[in-house]
């Protein structure tokens, strides 16, 4: 028998030959930074098809990547790689597939940090980005350059919920010889699968709807296996493969994601229908309502109004800070939070948060006024949710 310190390091007694060892009801958490081996042959085999070092590969990340591929591309030849955040997924994608002298053609309305990433990080390394309003397809065609290697957009824009005509963008990107990259965070694969429409790469911030519990930071890229391989290789250099713990939590979160997100999307459509009837709401930005400016495009991309997105924005009848504050304080359940996709309904005020550095005239041209509030709809009982908004409306008068 060894001394106590050695003993606690090397003794591992458990039923590793138990008949049901590989059948745990939940997939185990593997925090190990490495997997050992006893002989050269075993080491060589492990490098080919086993587990070696935590940043290189990990069972929790593998299970999660497999699930994401099934969600985003069940019928296609595709793969996924799981990264430490949505931003890490966007960074690794662009870093792996672009080089100095290349051009990104991007939608004008994007998550603010994606714009900063393109301008400041990729700009520094000689990749130029130009921005167009992708609702205007002629503007997109006119902005394509001979060196355009990537066309980048979110599926619906934050916070105005502007949609993109995916099939038309696919045509433009094919003609340009550029990769079409779609950030699907606002909709998720439970709503739309951009790869099935012909996009080349889909990115999800798993931090949002797909995790749903507001306690996970992760991102994922899904694409043809050869593209994912390149992105994965780059993520290794950048040190951005996901830590196993959030990946483990995320496997659990995905088990209920379809039920949660379907409820969020259907609640959003019902809430939008209610807002349409209230005179204190002057504009409802949700693709399910008839007044939505891209309603025809919404019908082209989605068959069911209750399965589009849990995100929306509304314009109040007032820009008065004090009245909006009183309204927010009057709400019993709904509250401010600088995130989206959680199970509780949350709101954000773009003018004071995501777009606080954008000049007022530019914001207004984009449809973002001080009266605009973004809503991420949760899974509450819809009657409670509508009643919460209804009882606070008089504060806006």
Binding site for ligand PLP (CB under 6 A): 85-87, 111, 154, 158, 183, 185-186, 205, 207, 217, 219
Beta strand spans in 4-84 (E) = 79-83
Instruction: Name which of 73 and 82 has its Cβ closer to ligand PLP.
Output: 82
CB-wise, 373 or 396, nearer to ligand PLP? 373
| In the complex, least distance from residue 118 CB atom to ligand PLP, rounded to whole angstroms | 13
> Which residue from 184, 208, 205, 187 is spatially nearest to 348, judged by alpha carbons?
208
Return phi, psi of residue 115, to 5°. Answer: -65, -45
Query: Nearest distance from residue 322's CB to ligand PLP, in Å?
Result: 28
Contact criterion met (CB below 8 Å) for 184 and 197:
no
| CB of residue 83 to ligand PLP, shortest distance in Å | 9
The closest of 336, 341, 340, 332 to 352, measured between CA atoms, is 336
Tell me how far, at minimum, the Cβ of 12 lies from ligand PLP, in Å: 36
Q: Rounded distance, CA 245 to CA 107, Å? A: 34
> Nearest approach, Cβ of 84 to ligand PLP (angstroms)?
8
Residue nearest to ligand PLP (CB): 86
User: What does each C-alpha distance from 66 to 74, 89, 146, 247, 254 come to in angstroms?
Assistant: 10, 16, 36, 12, 12
Closer residue to ligand PLP, CB minimum distance, 176 or 249: 249
| Nearer Cβ to ligand PLP (117/144) | 117
57 vs 93, which CB is nearer to ligand PLP? 93
Nearest-angstrom CA–CA distance, 272 and 293 = 14
CA–CA distance, 269 with 288 (Å, rounded to integer) = 6
Q: Smallest gap, in angstroms, from Cβ of residue 77 to ligand PLP?
A: 25
Tokens of 213: 């519990």
Q: Are the C-beta atoms of 155 and 163 separated by less than 8 Å?
A: yes
Which residue lies nearer to ligand PLP by CB, 217 or 317? Answer: 217
């Amino acid at each position: 028998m060894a001394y106590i310190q050695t003993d606690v390091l090397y003794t591992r007694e458990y039923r590793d030959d138990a008949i049901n060892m590989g059948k745990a009801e939940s997939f185990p958490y593997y925090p190990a930074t490495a997997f050992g081996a006893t002989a050269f042959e075993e080491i060589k085999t492990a490098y080919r098809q086993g587990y070696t070092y935590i940043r290189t590969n990990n069972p929790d990340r593998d299970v999660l990547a497999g699930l994401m591929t099934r969600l985003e591309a069940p019928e296609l030849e595709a793969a996924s790689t799981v990264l430490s955040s949505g931003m890490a997924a966007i960074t690794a994608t662009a870093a792996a597939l672009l080089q100095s002298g290349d051009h990104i053609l991007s939608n004008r309305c994007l998550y603010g940090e994606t714009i900063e990433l393109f301008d400041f990080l990729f700009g520094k390394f000689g990749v130029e980005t130009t921005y167009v309003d992708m609702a205007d397809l002629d503007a997109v065609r006119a902005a394509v350059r001979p060196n355009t290697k990537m066309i980048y957009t979110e599926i619906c824009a934050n916070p105005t919920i502007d949609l993109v005509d995916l099939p038309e963008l696919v045509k433009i990107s094919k003609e340009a010889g550029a990769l079409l990259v779609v950030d699907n965070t606002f909709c998720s694969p439970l709503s739309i699968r951009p790869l099935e429409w012909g996009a080349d790469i889909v990115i999800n911030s798993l931090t949002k709807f797909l995790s749903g519990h507001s306690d996970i930071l992760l991102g994922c890229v899904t694409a043809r296996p050869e593209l994912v391989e390149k992105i994965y290789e780059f993520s290794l250099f950048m040190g951005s493969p996901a830590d196993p713990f959030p990946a483990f939590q995320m496997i659990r979160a995905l088990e209920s994601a379809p039920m949660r997100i379907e409820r969020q999307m259907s609640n959003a459509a019902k809430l939008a229908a209610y807002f349409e009837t209230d005179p204190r709401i002057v504009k409802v930005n949700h693709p399910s309502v008839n007044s939505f400016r891209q309603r025809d495009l919404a019908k082209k991309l989605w068959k069911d109004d209750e399965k589009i997105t849990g995100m929306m924005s509304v314009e109040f009848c007032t820009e008065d800070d004090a009245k909006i504050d009183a309204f927010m304080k009057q709400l019993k359940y709904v509250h401010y939070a600088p995130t989206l996709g959680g199970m509780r309904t949350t709101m954000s005020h773009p003018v004071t948060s995501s777009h606080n550095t954008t000049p007022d005239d530019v914001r207004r041209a984009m449809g973002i006024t001080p009266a605009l509030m973004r809503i991420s709809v949760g899974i509450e009982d819809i009657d409670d949710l509508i009643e919460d908004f209804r009882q606070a409306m008089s504060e806006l008068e």
